[in-house]
Amino acid sequence: MRKKFIAGNWKMHKGGKEAIEIAKNVKEGIQDDKVDVMIAPPFTAIPDVGRTLEGGFVKLGAQNMHFEEQGAFTGEISPFFLLDFGVKFVILGHSERRKIFGEVDDLIAKKTAAALTFNLTPIVCVGETLSEREEGKTFDVIERELNTIIPLIDKKKIVFAYEPIWAIGTGKVATPETAVEVHKFIRGKLGDIGQDIRILYGGSVKPENAESLLKEEEIDGALVGGASLNPESFLSIISTARSV
């Protein structure tokens, strides 16, 4: 049985006192580990948020990282630095990194391999654009994105997130049927180990639609953007994950 996992991706939002306040509220709202919970603040808030989460059940994540331990990589953050602050998870291959920052499959695979080496659990994002979906290319795109990652899978230490790009930040959540169809496709590609690997859904997950998605056995949790910035909404999604 795969444990549900609710992960918050703050993207380029929140810093300073506000970040600490949100982390504190989320920490106080989670009193056991029935559901796994993670928040990924911007890099600059990681030290404060990490300290705030200490002694609680909420895990710390990062939104990206470089694949080398150190070197002449201006503006980059090494996996090794993240470990210092208690980071356990790292989101890799988010569609915003692929689209805006030109990250390609090979780079994402290198980062995934590095995360596993450093004992960080990668949350690898895959998903199609609206035009790819309309042209019937959804499964081709996802298969291509998975191809470089599948050989790296190390027991259960990897998480996937299906994030259809047309659903991110648009309020247009995928129907449970659409998400389940893609999750099944991904799991099928993973082979036997697929039964043990968690696949989250991301894209406009809100308290109002969380139950319909999370009650599906195929959907092992959610990668939440906007709604993770509000502790009340985020805790409500977690509470739904506990009850389904």
Q: Give catalytic residue positions.
A: 94, 163
Residue 184 makes CB contacts below 8 A (sequence gap 6+) with 218
> 176 and 219 in contact (C-beta within 8 Å)?
yes
Count, residues in the chain:
244
Residue 225 sits in the site that holds ligand 13P (CB under 6 A): yes
Instruction: Out of 202, 209, 213, 234, point to the residue binding ligand 13P (CB under 6 A).
Output: 202
Instruction: Out of 35, 46, 223, 235, point to the residue binding ligand 13P (CB under 6 A).
Output: 223
Residue 126 sits in the site that holds ligand 13P (CB under 6 A): no
Which of 12-20, 149-157, 188-196, 225-233 is the region at the interface with ligand 13P (rule: CB under 6 A)?
225-233
Instruction: Out of 46, 87, 142, 224, point to the residue binding ligand 13P (CB under 6 A).
Output: 224
CB nearer ligand 13P, residue 169 or residue 191:
169
In Å, what is the CA distance from 16 to each residue of 21, 45, 175?
9, 7, 36
Shortest CB 1 distance to ligand 13P, Å: 25
CB nearer ligand 13P, residue 182 or residue 227:
227
> 8 and 41 in contact (C-beta within 8 Å)?
no
Q: Identify residues 89-118 at the interface with ligand 13P (CB under 6 A).
A: 94
Question: How many residues make contact with ligand 13P (CB under 6 A)?
Answer: 14
Residue 138 sits in the site that holds ligand 13P (CB under 6 A): no
Residue 209 sits in the site that holds ligand 13P (CB under 6 A): no
C-alpha angle 185-205-191 in degrees, rounded to nearest 5? 20
Residue 135 makes CB contacts below 8 A (sequence gap 6+) with none
Q: Minimal CB distance to ligand 13P: which residue?
A: 225
The closest of 140, 148, 135 to 104, measured between CA atoms, is: 148
Q: Identify residues 154-183 at the interface with ligand 13P (CB under 6 A).
A: 163, 168-169
> Which DSSP string do the residues of 212-244 spell out, in sequence order?
HHHTSTT--EEEESGGGGSHHHHHHHHHHHHH-
Which of 65-73, 109-117, 178-186, 217-225 is the region at the interface with ligand 13P (rule: CB under 6 A)?
217-225
Which of 27-35, 103-111, 140-148, 221-229 is the region at the interface with ligand 13P (rule: CB under 6 A)?
221-229
Q: How far is the C-alpha of 145 from the C-alpha of 124, rounded, in Å?
A: 9
Contacts 24+ apart (CB under 8 A), 74-80: 77/43, 79/114, 79/115, 79/117, 79/118, 79/120, 80/118
Write out the residues near ligand 13P by the rule CB under 6 A: 9, 94, 163, 168-169, 202-205, 223-227
